[in-house]
Amino acid sequence: MAHGDPGRHVAETAVSMLEALFTQSPIGLHLLDTDLRVVRINATTPAMRGVVLEDLVGRPARDVYAMVEGDVEALLREVLDTGVPVQQRIMRARVDGIRPQERRFEVTALRLVDPDGWVLGVAVTSVDVTERERARARTVVLDAVRGKVGRILDPAVTGEELVEAVVPAFADIAVVEVVDAVIRGGDPPVAPAPTGTPVMRTAFRSTHARPQQAHPVGEVRRLPAPTPFTQALADLRPRVVPLHAAAPWLSADPPVAEAIRSAGAHSLLVVPLALRDAALGIVSLYRTGDSAPFDEADRELAVELASHTALCLDNARRYAREHTVAATVQRQLLPRRPVSHASLETAYLSVTGADPGSWYDTIALSGARTALVVGKVSGHGLNAAATMGQLRTVVRSLTAFDLPPDELLARLHGTAGHLAAERGHLPLGDALRRDVLTADCVYAVHDPVTGRCTMATAGRLGPLVVRPDHTVSLPASPGGPRLGTAEGAPFAAVDVEVPDGSVLVFTSDPVLTAYLAEAPGPLPSAPDYRDRPIQELCDALVYALPAGLGAGDAAVIVARTRAFSPDRFVAWPIDPDPAAVALARRRTARQLAAWDVDDETAFNTRLIVSELVTNAVRYGSPPLELRLIHDLTLTCEVRDTGSDAPLLRHAAGVDEGGRGLFITAQLAQAWGVRYTAPGKTIWTEQSL
């Protein structure tokens, strides 16, 4: 067999490799001739995307690189004339796009010479190092704040030091507003800050020659609500807010809206000044003109800057005992983060600052289900917070028994009655003896497998269901008596279909619920239910509430349903025959392999299925069913129509059986029994 010319083969390979380099390299490659005209350029870099290469070949460097700041042609001419390369020089460029932005490129240029010494041209490489340079700039800003802010223990001076450190290095405009009580040495409010908390503008700085201020430095005012500023003071969370004329919250604060339009600001970063759950103030950072919008890294840096500034502002704060203790107790008793399954996104929300007697909770149940709870205890202050904590703990305890919503509220009603009776035995001079203990509560269970939500209410509360077509409904559930009253009317549960993309809204204030249920209201007009971040949906809900609504302090849960993936759930009928045990094991093994479950968990699951199915065949009542659910945990469920409860027992050493449920309990992370109509479900959960 004849072989071709090896040299020709090598040359062809070299040409092919060069072609691949220009078409695949993520680094910008540019070749220019001795007249500094483009010979070849690759289009794989972000700056060259959408550019027709044929339009660039033959054009002079000054035209092709017009986006680069500085005299690029003079730089390349110097390299061509002297032969001294330019290495890793940082250059700025304005890159076109949906929004033109400034990028940083690390440029290296060197002269190309052939083996005979003839100058061929210039080769240029460019690497986009924008993010690296931004990270470096953020570090410089953080070091500056740590070194300059807090040198003088004066709240007003601290704000001035902060804005000097961040403008223009991090933002184009910076505003610091501190709670007026902190300025005067008083006690700052514990978050969520009450609506109308007076704040003083202590510092302002701008890169504009003649900036327009919404409010002068030194002015004390009450922040109009709702705005991103009041929201940040309420939940102590930073937020990046794109600025556009249609933003609904701008109408709440016309002076600020006018100042934003005058400055041409397009991005706002609001960061609370917070320390140990207390709101000391807020920092508002703006970017204008061609500056890049704030991103997630900017928000993280701003949190660090605000944390350091808050420490400097905190000079011997003292809290009013009753308010501080009540607020602290409530924040400790309430969950900080909602429990969410893949099929249910949830977020907590406080409107005007949650009263110590209001509570919310989300609780993970077996079978990928989630319980949602919102309630409100009568009274105020520490006593209301303490009672709220007791009732929330009781609800948490009762959920371990997988009770239906109506039965759970019935038992909670009994507990509230006992607590109310205990007040009657307090000393005659105790003011708490004269306060009647009552509470409203709504308890719902969302089942993603069936796509339904079962709920029951005590008192005047009721959830709202917003379906994907934006229709809002208040389920017609007959409300039971308020918790703690002498009324003994039974509680009733209602079953509601919640298709994929539905939004559930639970509030602790019936006035707020009634307003949200009206048409037209903020819920039907809120866009992007399916894809909008749940926290943004919460903020939009608050922005849409009118002033003077008359709603009291309210705790709110907003939940959005997602369809449960059908390939994450299987159910098989079981014949009441001992041979069904082996079949169930084989089916389980195949399904776990399809889900790529690890060997140890799969082995344990087969044992669990074997024991549960064996017990169902021996002691259960047909029809029987085995279900496997692959969610955050691996759930095994065996259903039958019998009502006999399984008993966990420890078999004696000589017994030949009786260890099935004990083995199951040892292998599973959790197990239990859930009674339904008709029959029961024995379930286990294992960590994945």
pLDDT tens per residue across span 260-311: 999 999 999 999 999 888 899 999 999 998 888 898 888 999 999 999 889 8
Q: How confident is the model at residue 528 (pLDDT cuts 50, 70, 90)?
A: low
Same fold, 327-561 and 566-687: no
pLDDT tens digits for range 365-403:
888 889 999 998 888 777 788 888 889 999 999 998 888
Domain covering 133-313, topology: Beta-Lactamase (3.30.450)
Give the CB-side neighbour count of residue 370, counting CA atoms within 13 A.
23
Which residues, 6+ apart, have CB-to-CB distance to 220 below 8 Å?
180, 198, 199, 200
Q: Rounded to 5 degrees, what are φ and ψ at 191?
A: -65, 145
CATH superfamily of the domain spanning 566-687: Histidine kinase-like ATPase, C-terminal domain (3.30.565.10)
Which helix (H) or strand (E) segment is 41 a member of?
strand 38-41
Q: Which sequence spans correspond to the domains of the chain?
A: 6-126, 133-313, 327-561, 566-687
What tens digit of pLDDT does each residue of 49-96 get?
556 666 677 788 777 776 777 778 788 888 888 888 888 888 877 776
Q: CATH assignment of 327-561, given 3.40.50.720, 3.30.1330.10, 3.60.40.10, 3.30.420.40?
A: 3.60.40.10
pLDDT value at 201 more than 90:
yes
Q: What separation in angstroms does the CA of 100 have from each of 289, 293, 457, 468? A: 10, 11, 53, 36
Half-sphere exposure of residue 64, counting CA atoms within 13 Å on the CB side? 25
Q: Sorting pLDDT into bands at 50, 70 and 90, what band is 653?
A: very low
Sign of the C-alpha dihedral computed for residues 528, 532, 535 and 539 taken in this order: negative
Whether the bond into 168 is cis, omega within 30 of 0 = yes
CATH no. for 6-126: 3.30.450.20
Q: Higher model confidence: residue 624 or residue 99?
A: 624
